[in-house]
Amino acid sequence: MNYFIIGFYALLIGVSSLAAFYQKRTAFLLLFSLTLVSFVMGIVGGEAMLWSVTILAGLIAFSAGVSFSFREFLVILLPEDYAKEMRTAPLTAGFGLFIIFTYAISGIFAPIIAPYGEAEVISSAFAPADENMLLGADQLGRDMFSRIIYGARNTVGLALLATILAFAMGATAGLYAAAVGGKLDQLLGRIVDVIMSIPSLIFSLLLLSIFGTNTVTLIIVIAIIYAPRVFRLARSVGGNVVVMDYIEAAKLRGEGNWYLIRKEILPNSTAPLIAEFGLEFCFVFLLVAGLSFLGLGIQPPTADWGSMVRENATLISFGEITPLIPAGAIALLTVAVNFVVDWMLYRSSGLKE
């Protein structure tokens, strides 16, 4: 028995007793079950296991604290209308926003933040981390940390552009199909069916090998692959809106289709479309990373998280976590975006009002 173990259990039991005393039901249940679970874990895993539990709990508490402060920060900073929304936002949304904010900052200010250039070779291959290189070097001796920072700019930027383009195409076509209906609706719908029937990764590999890989082609190809999903959503949401009386009133006024889409249908379809934007962004992001991993995405020496995983994959067999860092960056962003999307879905689902 050392002091750590004694302190560990004493703290847990003490805090859960406090929670029970102050009638905090959920907190007590959580803490006390954690106490019971750590008895078992302590017996099975020993002191090391308890340490990892402590670190994990600390991490969770830390990120909860960060999300809370970030949310309060936004509440104070934003104008009244948005501040009200933020105040009722769950902590997960605050966390998601914080992560997205961090990624955005590191992407925008990459050249200032990164200590070295993304293609700069500064040491030997696979050099371990030291005071110059926070995360060590990659297979060519480039600084891993700098490349992660630049990767935020390249990978995220590309995914964002591709998603915006996919939405511009899909939403316009979908709302137009909903507003006009008839043969055009059928035609667009069937084209979309054809595109969706081909597995996206294979289809993008095919298109990229035909048209070659440069950034512009990459964005267009991804946009074409993802636009059909947006089309379907926009068409079905729009379909619910076009049957409303105010659309009929506008039609009887003699308004054109473009006005109908822009002024009458789109404002009433934004909530689900924004939520879908978040989800699609994650998918596009994963596709970009996947394509890079296969060597058809962003081309070297430009830093990109997907290709960084592939290039450093060999290190896994030596017990190094370096290749997992870009993978973790991808995972963290996906989780963050989904947290924010969940919050938006909750808001748009009308559960609140």
Contacts with other proteins by CB under 8 A lie at 84, 87-88, 244-246, 248-249, 251-255, 263-264, 267-268, 351, 353
> Tell me, what DSSP letter sits at residue 322?
T
Question: At its nearest, how many Å lie between other proteins and the CB of residue 35?
Answer: 29
Give the rounded distance of the alpha carbon of 297 from its chain centre. Answer: 19
Q: What is the C-alpha to C-alpha distance for residues 25 and 20, in angstroms, rounded to an integer?
A: 7
Exposure string for 265-286, b = 16+ CB within 10 A, e = fewer: bbeebebbbbbbbbbbbbbbbe
State which residue, 211 or 246, has the beta carbon closest to other proteins. Answer: 246
State which residue, 47 or 72, has the beta carbon closest to other proteins. Answer: 72
Where do we find the tokens 């009244």?
A: 80
Region at 182 (left for phi over 0; alpha for psi -120 to 50; beta for the rest): left
Q: What is the C-alpha to C-alpha distance for residues 214 and 219, in angstroms, rounded to an integer?
A: 9
Q: What is the C-alpha to C-alpha distance for residues 204 and 223, in angstroms, rounded to an integer?
A: 10
Question: At its nearest, how many Å lie between other proteins and the CB of residue 140?
Answer: 53
State which residue, 270 or 314, has the beta carbon closest to other proteins. Answer: 270
Question: At its nearest, how many Å lie between other proteins and the CB of residue 86?
Answer: 12
Question: At its nearest, how many Å lie between other proteins and the CB of residue 269?
Answer: 10
Exposure string for 42-80, b = 16+ CB within 10 A, e = fewer: beeeeeeebeebbeeeeeeeebeebbeebbeebbeeeee
Terminal CA-CA length for the chain: 55
Question: At its nearest, how many Å lie between other proteins and the CB of residue 252?
Answer: 6
Question: At its nearest, how many Å lie between other proteins and the CB of residue 178?
Answer: 15
Do residues 138 and 129 make contact, with C-beta atoms less than 8 angstroms apart? no
State which residue, 77 or 84, has the beta carbon closest to other proteins. Answer: 84
Give the rounded distance of the alpha carbon of 21 from its chain centre. Answer: 40
Residue type, 226: Y
Hey, what are 190's tokens?
A: 């069937």
Question: At its nearest, how many Å lie between other proteins and the CB of residue 243?
Answer: 9
Question: At its nearest, how many Å lie between other proteins and the CB of residue 250?
Answer: 8
Hey, what are 145's tokens?
A: 């940390």
